[in-house]
Homo-oligomer: A and B are copies of this chain.
Amino acid sequence: MNLPPLDPPARILLGPGPSEASPRVLRAQALPLVGHLDPYFVQLMDETMNLLRQVFGTQNRLAIPVSGTGSAGMEAAFVNMLSPGDRVVVGVNGVFGERMCDVARRCGAQVHRVEAEWGQTLPLETIQSALRQHRPQVLALVHAETSTGALQPLEGLSEAAGETGALLLVDTVTSLGGAPVEVDRNGIDICYSGTQKCLSAPPGLAPITFSEVALARLKSRSTRVQSWYLDMSMIEKYWGGERLYHHTAPISAIYGLREALAVVLEEGLEARYLRHRRNAEMLWAGLEDLGLKLVVDRARRIPSLTTVYSPDGVAEQDIRKKLLERYGIEIGGGLGPFKGRVWRIGLMGESSTQRNILYLLAALRELL
């Protein structure tokens, strides 16, 4: 038993996540542990909920980190809101919409897909007509489709869902903290995210929030939530005034998240969105300058995740390998129909800096 000390290489994380975490956040994770019912931790839970509410843009009572990654957030959203036989309309224009369908089917729900091409977004009218046709309990959409780089507009969705009695469920894994989400203003009932994207905390937690209407729906269920671990009716008793033990909270990760949220709010949400936007534009111009073609129309691009076609005749995997080995830069490859054809470049949170962009562009210029 003589393992070498852990010594991860220094990477510039410009993939689809994790993004870089600030040293302040990483140091928070090295703080000594306290118990999950310690008065200090209980106060930190309240503080974290308060910070989450600000970042989500909500007055919702329930705004907490699920003890799992962004995908656990997705599962928590669906298992709590769907009972067997329920209908759900899911927008599908990439991997994460597909994943929503998979998760919803495992809840025993009837899944109705509204589809768009990869890289496109879903027109409001298409969504409206699906809602009128299927009258689902839930309308589920991905705000920022990490697999394609397309940003779904949130305007009008709440009204459309409300018209047919559906709750609005939105995945903001790649957008929260990097682009406006505004849960209350956009009338989102269930919203979840991940820590490792624009919040720039390490992966491991999934911030989630439920509106009072969503919580009332949860309370009126006639069947039990199929997941004990993610049953929000029990979890909210730990995060709420009762402090009733459910599962042991991931102390270190919550230290890190609290610190990451403080960093986000010290910068200010508007300033942060502007930084993500400006840096994205710098990247887009630079990529086009290299002769590369962006996948998504300018008006629909995610500021924190850019998709670009790799040049014809170039082994894109080889370029990514060289970027990592020679320059220490991680970018992502394409998934599904984009595999072997598209790069995914994340400019998320701490990773969204002019220095990273210019370095990446310089490296690409050398390699291409």
Contact = CB atoms under 8 A, between A and B. Distances in A.
A147 to B, nearest CB: 10
Nearest to A202: B252
A227 interface: yes
Given A31-B6, A228-B75, A1 B253 contact: no
B67 A69 contact: yes
Contacts of A245: 335
Interface string A261-282: 0100110100000000000000
Nearest to A50: B3
Interface in A257-310: 258-259, 262, 265-266, 268
A258 B32 CA distance: 18
A88 to B, nearest CB: 14
Contact of A69 (B33, B105, B227, B248): B248
A327 interface: no
A202 B6 CA distance: 17
Interface string A94-117: 000001001101110000000000
A33 B196 CA distance: 10
Given A1-B266, A228-B99, A252 B29 contact: yes
B17 A34 contact: no
A84 B202 CA distance: 36
User: In which size bucket is the chain A interface?
Assistant: 35 or more
Given A34-B9, A248-B18, A248-B203, A227 B228 contact: no
A10 B33 CA distance: 8
Nearest to A6: B28
Interface in A172-228: 194, 196, 202-204, 224-228
Nearest to A108: B226
Contact of A72 (B27, B33, B67): B67
Contacts of A341: none
Given A11-B33, A38-B330, A247 B71 contact: yes
Contacts of A202: 33, 250-253
19 contacts: A1-B265, A3-B262, A6-B259, A8-B31, A9-B34, A9-B38, A10-B32, A26-B32, A35-B330, A67-B72, A68-B229, A71-B248, A106-B227, A106-B228, A194-B248, A202-B250, A204-B252, A245-B335, A252-B252
